[in-house]
Amino acid sequence: MIRAFVLAAALLAASGAGAETPGPAPVRLTLGGEVSLAIAPQDPTFFNYTDYEYNPLRLARLGLSGAFRVHDRLALLGEVRSDNLGTPRAHALYVRIRPWPQRPFDIQAGLIPPVFGAFARRSYATDNFLIGYPLAYQYLTAIRSDALPATAADLVRMRGRGWRPSFPIGSQEERPGLPLVNALRWDTGVQARAGSERFELLAAYTTGTLSSPRVRDDNGARQVSARIASRPIVGLVLGASAARGAYLARESTEGLAFDADNFLQQAFGLDVEYSRDYWLVRAEGVWSGWDLPSIGGPWVSGPLRARAFSLEGRYKLWPGLYAAARVDHLGFNRMQGMSVTWDAPVLRVEAGVGYHLRRDVLVKAVYQHNRRDGSRRRALDVAAVQLLFWF
């Protein structure tokens, strides 16, 4: 792990622009970092639990990023994070190639940034007006990639218990479920980007899926994802995303007459952002579906579907001080013959303020309300503060 820190110190977060004419460029090293400390009461309801088994409202994070610009056509980029003084992990590690330095086109390969959606592309604390994450990118559902329900009743039994669902097929360990989109882990693969100030197109071919990004392959299949973004006028951004890939691990279907790579997660997303004067408003919708094999009765019928919507805004009250709020809803479909949805719908409202003590030091204070239509732990109201420093 010490090697990972040394490597991250030798990699980039933002390299300089390419040279005007082809040819070797001077070697350039750029370093950066982010330190954040969030404090809140314990959450016995697990509304803010993540697949890394921590709560972003109770999180100390150190992130070191860097880039080594080898040539005007080539750069190496990476980031290492340590959460709550835990073992450092590589959050990003990839190579960026610009075949034509004068054209807005590049290729990235390795542990790459996400293509899908809007929030996953700005999930750093400096880009998040509040402290919590949108439900689509954090909340854990009852689905797992390494374990399967034998019947629909097994799935409904885990309704509202995404932080530790357990099933009779596959892994017998209790582990966190899957979010719609995992904003905390980056996937391994290849990504291409083409665009200009008005239009951007991204496409990626990766080892894992939106809800289960992977460094190592666990099912022999791949995901294809893409995003289109447009800036028709100043201050307005419109985006659409789609993804399709096999999410089940081989161990979940061992001994069954099913192949893991036949069961897909398919997702679609829409997002919009508009800023003017002191206002900035964002809205995003994510629709996801997961295939599950039908093993026993009562049967799991059709794909399991989920939909999440978020609306957030920020208003600058005066220099250095802003107010922000976000409203989230996460819903699920009903399986045939079932009187309830396969997982418990969730509502979240979060509001707070942020103040820049300095240009590179920010303090946030928020209040968050959560409500879940199911499980024994149905509500949570919590306040949190966060100190953030970047360089």
Per the domain annotation, does 136 fall within a domain? yes
What is the pTM for the complete model shown? 0.89
Per the domain annotation, does 109 fall within a domain? no
Domain of 138 in residue numbering reads as 38-60+116-390
Contacts of 9 (CB under 8 A, 6+ apart): 31, 64, 66
- Count how many residues are written for the chain: 391
Q: Residue 158's closest CA among 374, 333, 372, 380?
A: 374
Q: How far, in Å, CA of 288 to CA of 113, rounded?
A: 20
Per the domain annotation, does 3 fall within a domain? no
Q: Residue 55's closest CA among 43, 70, 73?
A: 43
Q: Which residue has the tokens 């479909």?
A: 333
Q: How far, in Å, CA of 387 to CA of 352, rounded?
A: 14
Q: How far, in Å, CA of 215 to CA of 148, rounded?
A: 22
- The residues facing 312 across adjacent strands are 282, 326
pLDDT, one tens digit per residue, over 58-74 is 999 999 999 999 988 99
pLDDT, one tens digit per residue, over 142-178 is 999 999 999 999 999 999 999 999 999 999 999 999 9
Q: How far, in Å, CA of 299 to CA of 267, rounded?
A: 23
Count of helices and strands (H, E) across the chain: 3, 18
| CATH number assigned to the domain comprising residue 342 | 2.40.160
Residue-wise DSSP of 123-136: -STTT-SSSS--HH
Per the domain annotation, does 191 fall within a domain? yes
The total number of structural domains that make up the chain = 1
Per the domain annotation, does 78 fall within a domain? no
Per the domain annotation, does 8 fall within a domain? no
Report phi then psi at 84, rounded to 5.
Answer: 55, 40
Answer with the residue of higher pLDDT: 192 or 51: 192
